[in-house]
Chains A and B, each alone.
Chain A
Amino acid sequence: MNPDFSKIKRKSAVVLLLSMVIFTLSGWAFIKSDMETGPYKFIYPANFGNRINVPDDNPSTKEGVYLGRMLFYEKSLSANNTISCANCHQQARAFTDGRSFSTGVDNVPTSRNSMSLTNLLWTRKFFWDGRAGSLEEQAAFPLTNPHEMGQSLDVSANKLAESSVYHQLFKIVYGDEAITGDRIVKAITQFERTLISCNSHYDQYLRNTYQPTPQELKGLALFMNAPQPQTGIRGANCAHCHGGVKNYMELFHNNGLDSIPKDAGIETLTGLSSDRGRFKAPTLRNIALTAPYMHDGRFKTLAEVVDHYSDHVEESASLSSFIRGVSNETGGRSLNLRPDEKKELIAFLNMLTDSTFITDPRFSDPHLLPVQKFKQSSK
């Protein structure tokens, strides 16, 4: 063999090896520099309480939350590589999508309205009908449902395996490079549990750092009070199902939308006629941002929602006993609020908007950041 040639070969091998080392190190450095590791500490006000819901087999870590955030915004988890979780759960809309029904990879509308992802750390029953007992069970559904992201978890795992970044991330999070459907779901839910909203004007009011307007205070009183026509106390009774500091009580009721509902709700699961048309009373956190409203997105504005409870409750055998006959007028069938009271109530509902939550950079699309960083470091 020509000695010169072997020298050149050795030289190029060294260059190749060095460039590989630099490339690997730069990738490692980028991930490392961006990511802290260790247990993730949830930070929330004491009045939110500690009845949190984190499964023993999926404790939250900082690296897991980061991976989950990458996956939440990862379009390759859908069958046609165009849809991520964030399509139907947009941060600016408190993680909803502004549509009555969402469309997925096959353009067939979903059967129910996309739900806000807020304070899931305290949620124990997921979906409009509460059918999933864990966030992990919930998250697997839209990923694989043919009308949503429409891709099996195994295929998703194989697609992610083509990316070296994900190999490294999975290794940092789980100790080895194996990418599995179970690990994908677990990481996504770790991220989702960090979506804590606790800085609305209402939170600030409870902390004595915000003074509500007179209209907001009147709305607050209506929200909290049950109507008592005998004593003249006016109320909208909202807090019965949407009360508490998180504006969420995990209750499921038929709220009188229809006397014969198109969607039977929980009855479909239990076969009990008393569950007909019964759905989750969802959180009212950021409610001004999450139109349209109800499980089928039938109401476009908060004014329409308030009109419903005030004037248009439909009777049926499964109508909630907390709505039936609850009225500001003796013998009334619905709340019968005055126009000024409706405006007050809506003023209070606007106090539940948490602008910190919808602009928090920790919840934004991380794919936009690494690309920028990577470009800078390669200059």
Chain B
Amino acid sequence: MKKYYWVVIAIVAGFLSNPVLTKAQDASKEASVKVSGEVATSLELKLADLQQFQQADVTRKDRDGKDHVYSGVVLADILQKAGATMGKDLRGENLTKYILVEASDGYQVIFALAELDKGFTDRTIILASRVDGKPLPDGDGPFRIIVQDEKKPARCIKQVTGIKVLFAK
């Protein structure tokens, strides 16, 4: 009887340690933000990749009506890295360019490139990954756009998956 007991334990242990059978639990992919469109190099940024940029903080109110400190990377820096026409190149027809930001729920918002460029504005718009020193909560993160001083939070788009640079047609 005892012999069978050990056989059963061995079989169960075998199942639990089998990577094929337990794969379903840890198969989840890591979220990322794809930067594409009118850029020199398309990017796919994961959480670790954001650490390679200079970090920036923006304080703004959330739905709870309280101020929170959001941390991440200035959007213009990401666009510059991808080779979008920022800075001295943001003139002429390039002023008809905008970014279309898309979230995993399908929500979309746009910003004109000139809204994001330091030469045009002091307002900081970041791709945030942390709030008050902690990762963004489920449903908001891992990436969220935070727009400094904008009255409505509608463009503080949650669960960002893509940023496309496009010409207005």
User: What residues make up the interface of A, taking CB atoms closer than 8 Å to B?
Assistant: 125, 130, 250-253, 266, 270-275, 278, 317-321, 324
Contact = CB atoms under 8 A, between A and B. Distances in A.
Contacts, number: 42
Contacts of A250: 106
B138 A318 contact: yes
A10 B107 CA distance: 74
A253 B105 contact: yes
Given A270-B29, A272-B29, A321 B158 contact: yes
B106 A251 contact: yes
Interface residues of B, number: 14
B105 A271 contact: no
Of B106, B107, B138, most buried by chain A (CB within 10 Å of CB) is B106
B139 interface: yes
Contacts of B115: none
Given A271-B29, A274-B31, 11 more contacts: A125-B106, A251-B105, A271-B27, A272-B29, A272-B31, A275-B104, A317-B138, A318-B138, A319-B139, A320-B139, A324-B139
A270 B105 CA distance: 12
Nearest to A319: B139
Of A253, A266, A270, A272, most buried by chain B (CB within 10 Å of CB) is A272
A96 to B, nearest CB: 22
Contact of A321 (B29, B31, B106, B140): B140
A273 B104 CA distance: 12
B104 to A, nearest CB: 6
Q: In the A-B complex, list the 10 residue pairs whose CB atoms are closest, starting with the nearest.
A: A321-B139, A271-B29, A273-B28, A317-B138, A251-B106, A251-B105, A252-B105, A252-B106, A250-B106, A272-B29
20 contacts: A125-B106, A130-B106, A250-B106, A251-B105, A252-B105, A252-B106, A253-B105, A266-B104, A272-B28, A272-B104, A273-B28, A274-B104, A274-B139, A275-B104, A278-B104, A278-B105, A317-B138, A319-B138, A321-B138, A321-B139
Nearest to B108: A250
A274 B106 contact: no
A336 B48 CA distance: 41
Contacts of A130: 106
Contacts of B138: 274, 317-319, 321
B159 interface: yes
A258 to B, nearest CB: 16
A317 B135 CA distance: 14
Contacts of B159: 274
B107 A251 contact: yes
Contacts of B31: 272, 274
Interface string B15-43: 00000000000011101000000000000
Contacts of A270: 29, 104
Nearest to A241: B105
A371 to B, nearest CB: 44
Contacts of A319: 138-139
Contacts of B137: 321
Contacts of A278: 104-105
Nearest to B138: A317
Of B104, B105, B140, B158, most buried by chain A (CB within 10 Å of CB) is B105
A266 B28 CA distance: 12
Contacts of A318: 138-139
B150 to A, nearest CB: 19
A378 to B, nearest CB: 53
Contacts of B27: 271
A275 B28 CA distance: 10
Interface string B123-140: 000000000000001111
